[in-house]
Amino acid sequence: MSSNSNKRRRANDPESHRSKNDKKPRTPSPTEWTDIGKTSSPTGSEELAMINALTLSSPDRPSLRKISPVPYLLTTDPLIQVLGLERLNKDGYINLDSVSKPDPGFGYGKHTTPAVAYRTYKKTNTIDADGEQDVAVGEDSYIHPIFFRDRWDTQELASSSSPYWEELKPVWQLATLLLEEKVMSGYIMGMLDRSSHTEIKTRFDGHAVHWFQCKERPSKQELWLLWEDLWDLKNCIKWSALEITEERHRGVSGTTKVDRSVSGLSKHGVGSKIVINENVLSILCGRINASDFSKPWSPGTDNPSARLRLQWSLATTMVHELMHALWLARHGTTSIEPFFRDTRFSELGWQWETLIYGGAIAPTSDRCEQPYGLQIQNWPGGITHVRYPTLQNVGPEPPKIIELFPVEMSWVADFFKQSFWDFVERYGRPGIICPVPAEGVPFTY
């Protein structure tokens, strides 16, 4: 993969949806992510109190390292070469005129997900007779437990004496909305259901290779099984910081590592540790600024705009990596990730992003600190050199020339507004897809 096309690199190191080999019995529900039981669960406030009691400062948890920012500008980036930073900024692709606070409860107005009903059921052990959640969604339901502070190994985000987890609630709230977005539930269900996969007449490192497609019109019961997986996954993963110790790490937003000390969701499943670029976390925790990584330009990187951009990107990265963690938790390391239909690459995280956003979105200038904005391209486009499984001589040939498009900052900001999610509720996936200019900047592989 060229340096330009690999902007946000991420690596991932049911015979049936839940089979007889699974470790836990099914939860009786009215119609795979963790602890299902008939016993009464604590209320939201009690649950948070329990978590806070467990997340006081701990000498065993690493803290974020002190970072010495190095300004960087990839002058060969096609958008920078052709358009220039000044024009990109003038056209609304780098700095916003002003940055508003997120709307309280964004995403939980007219737009709701069936998963909220499941999480309410897990907390209260009660649900409406029709299996729906009609009451107003309280603040304690805005964030999925998989993003709670007790899932973090990094001191600044794990400790209840630190303000950063609370300050980053909009990130966890957006990640929850993306993870539970109902227009993507068919993708995750099709991905997990190995009994529906079709074998391809090729091998990869001696392993069988399969392809899958989205589950069409899933039933209410099938959806509840999916929300159960998403709930249960919280006990299979941990979040931590990725220390930038090598040059190749600088373009990595996050990566999923196998953690065999933690059980998965089935007999063959394994846990994961998901590590997030330490520079991104340091910026969002206020230790440094995105502008510290920028070369001088006029008018320069606006830090509130860059911070908002990083909040959106972190939420996206976390859900991207959870696609890998979910596969590992359900199917382990002996089964390689399946291909989505005739896509040339097997990479469940990038495929999720491409379906929900309409392409792969990555930093302009190839660095995770994102001082110069974002760009989008078709995925996999013309990419040919990657570490994950590739179908050779199968399907359409990759194009030699692709187009790169800058991403409007107003679109990024909209994700934190209730009106955006009301629009998504009405129009579905077309309401989420990233808008692009009529013409992009061509790039030759």
Name the nearest CA neighbour of 429 among 357, 352, 321: 357
Mean pLDDT of 115-140: 72
Q: Which residues, at least 6 apart from 368, have a Cβ–Cβ distance to it below 8 Å? A: 8, 250, 251, 252, 253, 277, 279, 280, 313
Residues 68, 251: Cα–Cα separation, whole Å: 16
User: What are the tens digits of pLDDT across the range 159-214?
Assistant: 999 999 999 999 999 999 999 999 999 999 999 999 999 998 877 777 888 999 99
Mean pLDDT of 433-444: 94
The pLDDT assigned to 364 comes to: 97
The CA distance from 434 to 95, in Å, is 18
Residues 366 and 4 sit within 8 Å (Cβ to Cβ)? yes
Between 429 and 38, name the one with better pLDDT. Answer: 429
Count other C-beta atoms under 10 Å from residue 313's C-beta.
25
Q: Three-state SS for 6?
A: coil
Q: What is the pLDDT of residue 269?
A: 96
Longest dimension (CA), the chain: 62
Kindly report, residue by residue over 17-35, the tens digit of the pLDDT.
Answer: 344 344 443 333 333 222 2
The string of pLDDT tens digits covering residues 291-346 is 999 999 999 999 999 999 999 999 999 999 999 999 999 999 988 999 999 888 89
pLDDT on residue 8: 44
Confidence of residue 382 (pLDDT cuts 50, 70, 90): low
Decide: 83 and 378 in contact? Cβ < 8 Å. Answer: no
Q: What is the pLDDT of residue 60?
A: 79
Predicted confidence at residue 136, as pLDDT, reads 64
Contact by Cβ (8 Å): 372, 409 = no
| Weakest mean pLDDT among 51-65, 106-120, 284-298, 430-444 | 51-65
pLDDT given at position 39: 30
Domain ranges of the chain: 44-444
Residue 14 — very low, low, confident or very high, per pLDDT cuts 50/70/90?
Answer: very low
**Contact status, residue 270 vs residue 328, Cβ threshold 8 Å:** yes
Q: What is the pLDDT of residue 29?
A: 34
Q: Looking at residue 128, what is its pLDDT?
A: 56
Is the pLDDT score of 57 beyond 70? no
Taking a C-beta distance cutoff of 8 angstroms, is the pair 189, 181 a contact? no
The fraction of the chain above a pLDDT of 70, given in percent, is 80
Do 297 and 289 form a contact (C-beta atoms < 8 A)? no
- For residue 286, is pLDDT > 80? yes
Which ranges in 236-296 belong to alpha helices (H)? 278-284
Q: Could you tell me the two tokens for 179?
A: 């993870």
Average pLDDT over residues 283-298: 98
Separation CA 82–CA 345 (nearest Å): 29
Q: Give 365: exposed, middle or buried? Use CB within 10 Å, 0-12, 13-18, 19+.
A: buried
The span from the CA of 306 to the CA of 301, in Å, is 7
Here the tokens at position 85 are 């930073």
**425: three-class secondary structure by DSSP:** helix
* 215-220 long-range contacts, CB within 8 A, separation 24+: 215/185, 215/186, 215/187, 215/189, 215/190, 216/186, 218/185, 218/186, 218/189, 219/31, 220/31, 220/114, 220/131
Residue 404 β-bridge partners: 441
pLDDT in tens, 389-417: 676 545 566 677 889 999 999 999 999 99
Instruction: Note the pLDDT of residue 238.
Output: 97
| pTM for this model (two decimals) | 0.85
What pLDDT is attached to residue 3? 39
Three-state secondary structure readout of 135-153:
CCCCHHHCCCHHHCHHHEC
Cα–Cα dist 211/311, whole Å: 33
* CA triple 328-332-333, angle to 5 deg: 100
Determine if the peptide bond prior to 71 is cis (ω within 30°).
Answer: no
- Residue found by looking up tokens 């690493």 in the block: 62
**Cis amide linkage into residue 145, ω under 30° from 0:** no
Count Cβ atoms within 10 A of the Cβ of residue 309 and give its class: 0-12 exposed, 13-18 middle, 19 or more buried: buried
Task: Determine the average pLDDT of the residues in 204-229.
Answer: 90
pLDDT surpassing 60 at residue 388: yes
Q: Is the pLDDT of residue 132 over 60?
A: no
Cβ-based neighbour number of residue 185 at 10 Å: 21
Q: Identify whether the C-beta of residue 311 lies closer than 8 Å to the C-beta of residue 100.
A: no
Mean predicted confidence (pLDDT) in 54-61: 56
Which residue did the predictor score with more confidence, 6 or 268? 268
Residue range 427-445: mean pLDDT, rounded: 93
Mean pLDDT of the chain: 84
How many Cβ atoms from other residues are within 10 Å of residue 299's Cβ?
Answer: 11
Confirm if 240 and 154 have CB atoms less than 8 A apart: yes
Length of the chain, in residues? 445
**What is the predicted pLDDT for the residue at 31?**
30
Task: Give the C-alpha separation, 318 to 308, whole Å.
Answer: 16
Choose the weakest-confidence range: 75-89, 241-255, 314-328.
241-255
Residue 89 has a pLDDT of: 98
129-139 mean pLDDT: 60
